[in-house]
Amino acid sequence: MRIFLGLLTVSVALLAQTPKVLVIGDSISIGYTPVVTTLLAGKAEVKHHEGNATHTNNGVEKLETWLGTEEWKVITFNFGLHDLKIMENGQHQVNSAQYQRNLDLIVRRLKKTGARLLYVTTTPVPEGKLNPLRKPGDEVWFNDAALALMKKHEIPVVDLYGFAKPRLAEIQGKANVHFTKDGSAQLAAVVAKAIEEQLKK
């Protein structure tokens, strides 16, 4: 009995010491987070906030809830695919100027956590009739705007756009921004590697 209680105490202590990683993002991140969790098992406790982060207006509103009271060692985050979604009026769901302002607010709040931050670029918008409507190429501008901001704040970037672009035919659905199971696993490997590098610092 004493041995069992001793092992339980050790296990709880080790769990308490395990660095915690928060993944903030949309359905693309929801798709790769389970594999990131597996790849980092024993090295970090990985959590995706509840639900889909969607666009930056939503991110500004819900960020405090997502952060909670946990002490995060690393936080990865991304916004873009929902911001650039084309609405019935023909405009982006979040216009370019507001996107930049929102993302800057989000970055400034995340920096206050003291966690190591990683920005994940928005993955490619494929050709074809998409539902909801998105225009291929818009993600390039949104990524450029985000990258300029990350450079300003000296935040490292995980370039999933650059990784996925030459592999779209193999890893992404047809006329669909989402990825196949294998595609999500490949994205996860890139994200997990970047997180692990930050954990070692």
Q: How many Å apart are CA 56 and CA 146, to the nearest integer?
A: 12
Query: Over 80: is that where the pLDDT of 141 sits?
Result: yes
Under 8 Å between Cβ of 70 and 27: no
Tens digits of residue pLDDT in 106-133: 999 999 999 999 999 999 999 988 999 9
Query: Over 80: is that where the pLDDT of 167 sits?
Result: yes
Tens digits of residue pLDDT in 81-101: 999 999 999 999 999 999 999
Average pLDDT of the chain is: 93
Least confident of 11-15, 27-31, 101-105, 195-199: 11-15
If DSSP codes are grouped into helix, strand and coil, which group holds residue 96? helix
Q: Write down the pLDDT at residue 2.
A: 52
For residue 10, what pLDDT band results from cuts at 50, 70 and 90? very low
Q: Write down the pLDDT at residue 9.
A: 47
Domain boundaries, the chain: 19-199
Q: What is the mean pLDDT of residues 36-47?
A: 98
**CB atoms inside a 10 Å sphere around CB 53:** 25
Q: What is the mean pLDDT of residues 44-64?
A: 98
Output the CA torsion sign for 93, 76, 119, 67.
positive
Q: Write down the pLDDT at residue 201.
A: 85
Residue type, 27: S
For residue 16, what pLDDT band results from cuts at 50, 70 and 90? low
Cβ-based neighbours of 184, under 8 Å, separated by 6 or more = 28, 31, 32, 35
Query: Over 80: is that where the pLDDT of 5 sits?
Result: no
CATH number, domain 19-199: 3.40.50.1110
